[in-house]
Structure 1
Amino acid sequence: MATVDLTQATFEETVTGEGIVLVDFWAAWCGPCRMFAPVFEAASEKHADITFAKVDTEAERVLAGSLQISSIPTLMVLRDGVVLYMEPGALPAPALEQLVQAARDVDMAQVRRDLAARTEPAAR
């Protein structure tokens, strides 16, 4: 599956659904972004069951700002609408593959329990 371009209008719907979504925040003037792009594209072809998306931070300044993207490239990994990873920096192909596998291996039932425990009021 090729990468999809996200905008403010399509971001929420794409990242809140079921499954794994990788989002690359980038800009055309960014050298590391241009170096990471073919790695990201190759991974998207290899993992057809995962959504690989890109956000052009120049065209989508409001979206990037709302997510506090301050350095690019930044990679965000979500699974079932939960952010599992969000870090700046271009990854080499093997590291991206490890990240994809880690996202696949996450016990989402445990993640949901942990999130629920954090949002429950403290016992009195």
Structure 2
Amino acid sequence: MQVTDTDFEKTISDNELVLVDFWAPWCGPCKQITPILESILESNPELTLAKVNVDDEMEVAKRYNVRGLPTLLLFEGGELRATHVGLASKDKLMAFVNQETI
């Protein structure tokens, strides 16, 4: 689901486990990570994927100091739990979501 500056807080508070993907249309690694994230979603039905286009939604990107793309933020119960920056393999991203050591 695409989220905006205005509905970001509601999205992370209304869902127990949210993976936020900060991306941009011009970002090659962002395009590469999308099918990996979709695959992770299939095996983690409790996970909600929220996508934030940093070209359009700059306020939330600034709030979380997003400096590189893709940036993934993992929220649990509305609280930021972990951050990952850059492209990674499916196994590493699964570990990130499950909070094992990357």
TM-score normalised to structure 2 length: 0.88
1:5 partner SS: coil
Alignment of 1:35-50 (within 5 A): 35-50=32-47
> Is the counterpart of residue 82 in structure 1 residue 82 in structure 2?
no
Aligned-residue CA RMSD (Å): 1.5
Rounded Cα–Cα distance in structure 2 between residues aligned with 1:9 and 1:48 = 25
Aligned residues of 2:16 and 2:77 also touching (Cα < 8 A): yes
CA deviations over 1:32-62 (Å, ceiling 9, x no partner) = 1111111011112221211111101111122
> Is the counterpart of residue 67 in structure 1 residue 64 in structure 2?
yes
Rounded Cα–Cα distance in structure 2 between residues aligned with 1:48 and 1:21 = 11
Amino acid at match of 1:59: D
Q: Structure 1 regions of 5+ residues with no counterpart?
A: 104-124
Q: Structure 2 regions of 5+ residues with no counterpart?
A: none
Question: Which residue matches 1:107?
Answer: none
Question: Which residue matches 2:22?
Answer: 25
Q: Could you list the runs of 4 or more consecutive aligned residues of structure 1 that deviate by over 6 angstroms after TM superposition? A: none
Q: Which structure is higher in RCO with an 8 Å CA cutoff and minimum separation 6?
A: 2
2:73 partner SS: strand
Rounded Cα–Cα distance in structure 1 between residues aligned with 2:78 and 2:26 = 30
